[in-house]
A and B are shown apart, each in its own frame.
Chain A
Amino acid sequence: MANILVVDDEVEVGEEVRRVLERAGYTVTVTNNATAALDAAAREPPDVVITDVIMPKVHGVQLITTLRERYPGMRVIAISGGGSFGPLAYKPDAISTHAYLAAAREAGAEVILTKPFDLTDLLAAVRRLLPN
């Protein structure tokens, strides 16, 4: 079965997506940051990567760019929090989600999902990206 790599700094989100995808029959690896994600990808290249865009340290756009460099043609779904101005005091290194999503698309994300997304939308996106 297809291997999906999920990257999100929020543990909750990672677990939710895992539940949904495993129930649909996929193998899921969840990481909380870009570095761990790259390590996991090196160990076992995923078929699809689902990554949050706004994360501390290395954010999603950077991850997408690196992944596409290392694994050209890698399929990426970008998910975002949806707030347009970014958080205030607790995530000072975030910029407008808008800009991030545009950048993510430029970097190579083929699908963008904004939270909260429907279960069906998530599954549909994964199915679309997979070769079969």
Chain B
Amino acid sequence: MERIVNSLRVRLIGVVLVILAALVPPLYLGVSAIVREGYAERFVNSLRAYSRLIADELEALDESDFDRHAVGVLDSAVLSGQVVFAEIRDGSRTLHSSIATPSVNAPPRDDFHFGDQGDKTYFITHTVNRADHSVALRLGFDEVPTREQIAAAERRVLLAMAAFVATSIAVAVWLSWVIARPMVRLQEAAQRVASGDTHAQLDVGSSIREVQEFNYHLEHMRRELVGANEHLSREIREREVSEQKRLDLERRLLHRERIATIGTLAGGVAHEFNNIMTPILLYSQLALEEAPADSALARDLVRVIAAAHRARSLVTRILTFSRVMDSQQPSVFPLRVPVEEALALLREIVPTNIEIVLAAPEEPLSVLGDASLVHQVVINLCTNAYEAMRGSGGRLAVTLAAVENPDEPHLRAGLYHVLQVSDTGHGMDQTVLAHIFEPFFTTREVGEGTGLGLSVVHGIVSSLGGVITVRSAVGSGTTFSVYLPAAAAAATPATAASVEA
């Protein structure tokens, strides 16, 4: 940028120089010509007048002794100083001044202009009328003094021109400096801001209006820049904080999910396991009763029974663990309570391009069971829903309703409280739908999900005495409907949970 400013100065001066170069020479030549012509004209005019004077003088001479008197006149003309050649031609006879040097080159022609013939002498011929005939008077005048005058005048003109040029250049230099200096300062200040020192104020204190305005706008821009910078930094920090929060919540959610999965698996496995343990324990104990006391057989069986007892207590501990980690005693609760809690958690982690809506009636819609299980169901279903809409955004709608005698297979007649979770995601085709509740079935990449989410949901819904159904179409979205037997305030589990095929 230094270069640009420099060239501004250079340009200004250059322009002035060009103008001067274009104007001054013709001006000088013009003025010189005028001066010269003025001098020449004056010279010629005066010479002409003088020759007329001499001619008149000669005409006034007496005819007698004309020659002698004529020479006298010629001599006086030469002596006056201007004349360097004087002659009277009378036919073939010539009379010269006795003083004038005949060596002066006297061409036969007359001069019409100053400087003619290049001989530094101006020749004039004048007719002199005598008594009976005319004679020619020829005078030669020295051009040199006039030439010297002309030269001096030209020098003066030259000097004036030079002074003019010098002054113009000086003014141009000063002007360019005056204009360029505030620009240099502004440019320096702008450079400072650009290199990071955004807090250096810009003020070049110039009196030129355009520069002042430029200064003002530049300063304004700088302030905006500083403000924008701070705003951005703040936003970045806030984003980082909320990103951290989101990651934390996701971790916690994943952890919960794993715990719940373990719990549900443990529950399912435990049941089967306990059934298997029953014959192991009972038959070992029977065999022990029939074994001879103190026999090796008896001792071996004692060990088997001890191991079976340990297995039993292990399963109990696992179940207790999963119960403690995850569930409470079954009770009657309004369906919306765990649903709202789950949605509150989800709102924190679901990206903003997914809209979450809950539609629930005024009535509590009570069900019997473990509220944290319903919480788990909502989390799992909503997680699947938002995964289906990740990237494209969409709507996740959770609806609660009471349905009398729902038109679903596997459901007895009666009042049910329904939880529906719908998404506007990519949907699933028939082949996927067929396997959707199977444990370890997943359409996700390895490491992205255990494939247990929906099987857990299915298990929980079953354990609550309900049924889960799914409707889906590729491209339009999916709806899961969880039907749970409605609980009256003080219903016993038996009436709430009886199911007949």
Contacts and interface: CB of A to CB of B under 8 A. Distances in A.
B14 interface: no
A75 interface: no
B281 A116 contact: yes
Contact of B497 (A82, A95, A107, A116): A95
A114 B275 CA distance: 10
Contact of B459 (A13, A88, A115, A119): A88
A23 interface: yes
B315 interface: yes
B494 A103 contact: yes
B286 A83 contact: no
Interface string A85-114: 111110111111111101100110000001
Nearest to B280: A116
B263 interface: yes
A94 B282 contact: no
Contacts of B499: 93
A10 B493 CA distance: 23
B289 interface: yes
Interface stretch (B126-134, B251-259, B460-468): B460-468
Interface stretch (B237-245, B264-272, B347-355): B264-272
A82 B274 contact: yes
Contacts of A56: 501
B501 to A, nearest CB: 6
Contacts of B462: 86-88, 91-95
Residue among A12, A20, A86, A102 with the highest chain B CB neighbour number at 10 A: A86
Contacts of A61: 493-494, 498
A65 B494 CA distance: 10
A114 B494 CA distance: 19
Interface in A6-29: 10, 12-13, 16-17, 19-20, 23
A57 interface: yes
Contact of A116 (B274, B463, B465): B274
Interface residues of A, number: 46
Contacts of A91: 462
A20 B271 contact: no
A116 B312 contact: yes
B396 to A, nearest CB: 26
B105 interface: no
B494 A94 contact: no
Contact of A86 (B277, B327, B463, B492): B463
A103 B274 contact: no
Judged by DSSP, the binding face of B is helix
Contacts of B140: none
Contacts of B315: 82
B278 A13 contact: yes
Contacts of B438: 89
B319 interface: yes
Contacts, number: 148
Contacts of A122: 282
A116 B437 CA distance: 30
B458 interface: yes
B368 interface: yes
Nearest to A99: B493
A106 B492 contact: yes
A81 B271 contact: yes
Contact of B275 (A62, A81, A86): A81
Contacts of B494: 61-62, 65, 103, 106-107
Interface string B275-318: 10111111101100100000000000000000010001001100
Nearest to B267: A85
Given A85-B264, A115-B274, A16 B279 contact: yes
Given A92-B410, A103-B493, A85 B308 contact: no
A19 B286 CA distance: 8
B392 interface: no
A74 to B, nearest CB: 17
Contact of A118 (B285, B316, B370): B285
A61 B285 CA distance: 29
Contact of B458 (A84, A88, A96, A114): A88
B267 A119 contact: no
Residue in B280, B285, B368 whose Cβ sees the most chain A Cβ within 10 Å: B285
B275 A115 contact: yes
B330 interface: yes
Name the residue among B263, B315, B322, B497 with the largest chain A CB count within 10 angstroms: B497
B329 A23 contact: no
Interface string A58-70: 1101100100000
B500 interface: yes
A99 B493 CA distance: 6
Contacts of B439: 88
16 contacts: A12-B278, A16-B278, A16-B279, A23-B286, A65-B494, A82-B316, A83-B268, A83-B319, A85-B459, A88-B439, A95-B463, A95-B465, A96-B369, A100-B493, A102-B493, A122-B282
Given A19-B286, A116-B282, 18 more contacts: A81-B270, A82-B271, A82-B316, A83-B269, A85-B263, A85-B460, A86-B267, A86-B459, A88-B439, A92-B462, A94-B463, A95-B464, A97-B271, A99-B369, A115-B278, A117-B281, A119-B281, A119-B285
The 10 A-B residue pairs with the shortest CB-CB distance, nearest first, are A83-B271, A85-B267, A116-B277, A119-B285, A99-B493, A83-B270, A93-B499, A88-B459, A82-B274, A81-B271
Interface of B: 263-264, 267-272, 274-275, 277-283, 285-286, 289, 308, 312, 315-316, 319, 322-323, 327, 329-330, 368-370, 410, 437-439, 455, 458-460, 462-465, 467, 492-494, 497-501
